[in-house]
Amino acid sequence: AHPVYAGMGLTIFEYMSGLCRDGSRVNLGQGFPDDFGPAELRDAAARALSERSSQYPPMAGVPELREGVAAFYGRTQGLPLAAENVIVTSGATEALTAAILALVSAGDEVLLFAPSYDLYAPMVRRAGGVPVFVPLRPPHWRYLREEIEARITPRTRALILNDPLNPTGSVASEAELAMLAEICLSRDLVAICDEVWEAVRFDGKVHRSLLAFPGMESRTVKIGSAGKLFGLTGWKIGWMVAAPALAAVLGRAHQFLTFTTMPATQYAVAEGLAVADLMAARLAGWAATRDHLNGLLAEAGFAALPGPATWFTCIDLAASGIALDDATFSERAVREALVATIPISAFLEQGERTAIVRLCHCKDMVTLSEGVSRLEEFR
């Protein structure tokens, strides 16, 4: 197991990818495509690097990208936004940290839905807040009003919603979103919405943000990432979208975390956001890798859970006839089958175990075949 320091263990993603870096293992763990990313955007960044300044850009991001993000959400999600709503960050990771540091004070309770992305609870605690977990249950991971309301107290300040949800690939329904918005309004909560997977959905539906619900404009932080829109995870271009007054507050935290983000990649992402075909081509590629992985898993007798979004497919070990918990399976698979996977318990409180393991599908078809055949032999 990995070492723990000051309540924060090494993330499972780095632990697994670290074991894979010498090429000895198949990495179906950490979510990243195994291609280089779209050539159009890499060329645009190279052009910006040689033709434009590499000095500090404005703290809130280059105007082209702030305007580009606003226009992108206007076009794709019908959100009436302008540049002043957008603060560019070094990935969604920084956006989440900035939002938590800006909005959570000592003693504030923050509702998290479990499973939840691994940075939320440690960063809420570091901000002096108290994470309060609302369980979601397989196979559909529904948001239940009673479960949420039972955990709200006078100290509840915020909720963090990750929709579509990593690791499950599930998506909140319109009725669930309306219920969550209603709770935020009636209980005076701020919504920190991690929507990095908004464009990686295979059900053909348009993403809906809590930001789009009446009354939520002033209390929602919508977080996105070019890493997921374009499959450029190493670039670390993300953003926070909020009403101008709230965006100003978020900017105060951002200024002391990174202050600014590399300008060349900002210009390139701004160019990419204007080209609808680029994202559509990416999504079509990922639909193919997803179908390929799901087909291989079915053939090999692994029971996959439903999930219409993200780069991930979850398998149910018990339903696949494997009598191991998720952490034991993933640890043995990476050591014995030489395949990295992610146990869902990495998204739960320490010590909780499940029988569900996450596999990343946005890989070369040969890599997927090799990974599943090793897992099949190992099981």
**Contact residues: ligand GLN, CB under 6 A:** 11, 13, 30-31, 166
Minimum CB distance to ligand GLN, residue 133 (Å)? 19
Using the rule CB under 6 A, which residue among 93, 156, 220, 313 binds ligand PMP?
93
Question: How far, in Å, CA of 271 to CA of 39, rounded?
Answer: 12
Secondary structure element (H or E) that encloses residue 180, with its range: helix 174-186
Interior CA angle at 236 toward 233 and 239, to 5°?
A: 115
Question: How far, in Å, CA of 272 to CA of 287, rounded?
Answer: 20
Number of residues engaging ligand PMP in binding (CB under 6 A) = 14
CA distances from 160 to 19, 149, 193, 223, 237 (A): 31, 15, 6, 11, 20
Secondary structure element (H or E) that encloses residue 225, with its range: strand 220-225
Report if residue 117 touches ligand PMP, rule: CB under 6 A: yes
- Pair type for strands 190-194 and 156-162: parallel
| Angle subtended by helix axes 63-77 and 263-273, to nearest 10 | 30
Report if residue 345 touches ligand PMP, rule: CB under 6 A: no
Minimum CB distance to ligand GLN, residue 31 (Å)? 3
Report if residue 116 touches ligand PMP, rule: CB under 6 A: no
Does residue 265 sit in helix, strand or coil? helix
Question: How far, in Å, CA of 231 to CA of 155, rounded?
Answer: 38
Report if residue 261 touches ligand PMP, rule: CB under 6 A: no
Q: Where are the beta strands (DSSP E) in 126-219?
A: 130-135, 156-162, 190-194
Closer residue to ligand PMP, CB minimum distance, 227 or 272: 227
Q: Which does 227 bind (CB under 5 to 8 A by kind): ligand PMP, ligand GLN, none?
A: ligand PMP
By beta-carbon distance, which residue lies closest to ligand PMP?
Answer: 91
Report if residue 92 touches ligand PMP, rule: CB under 6 A: yes
Minimum CB distance to ligand PMP, residue 19 (Å)? 19
Q: Which does 326 bind (CB under 5 to 8 A by kind): ligand GLN, ligand PMP, none?
A: none
Closer residue to ligand PMP, CB minimum distance, 30 or 320: 30
| Binding region for ligand PMP (CB under 6 A) out of 90-98, 145-153, 169-177, 183-191 | 90-98
Closer residue to ligand PMP, CB minimum distance, 48 or 192: 192
Interior CA angle at 155 toward 150 and 158, to 5°?
A: 80
Q: Which does 30 bind (CB under 5 to 8 A by kind): ligand GLN, ligand PMP, none?
A: ligand GLN
Closer residue to ligand GLN, CB minimum distance, 156 or 313: 313
Minimum CB distance to ligand GLN, residue 19 (Å)? 14
Question: How far, in Å, CA of 210 to CA of 189, rounded?
Answer: 12
Does residue 9 sit in helix, strand or coil? strand
Under 8 Å between Cβ of 166 and 310 = yes
Report if residue 57 touches ligand PMP, rule: CB under 6 A: no
39: which residues sit within 8 A by CB, 6+ positions away?
none
- The letter for the amino acid at 250 is L
Minimum CB distance to ligand PMP, residue 140 (Å)? 19
Question: How far, in Å, CA of 325 to CA of 356, rounded?
Answer: 8
Q: Mask: binding to ligand PMP, 181-220, rule CB under 6 A, as x and -?
A: -------------x-x------------------------
Minimum CB distance to ligand GLN, residue 312 (Å)? 7
Query: For the chain, what's the residue count?
Result: 379
Stretch 147-176 residues interacting with ligand PMP (CB under 6 A): 162, 166
Q: Which residues bind ligand PMP (CB under 6 A)?
A: 31, 91-93, 117, 162, 166, 194, 196, 225, 227, 233, 236, 238
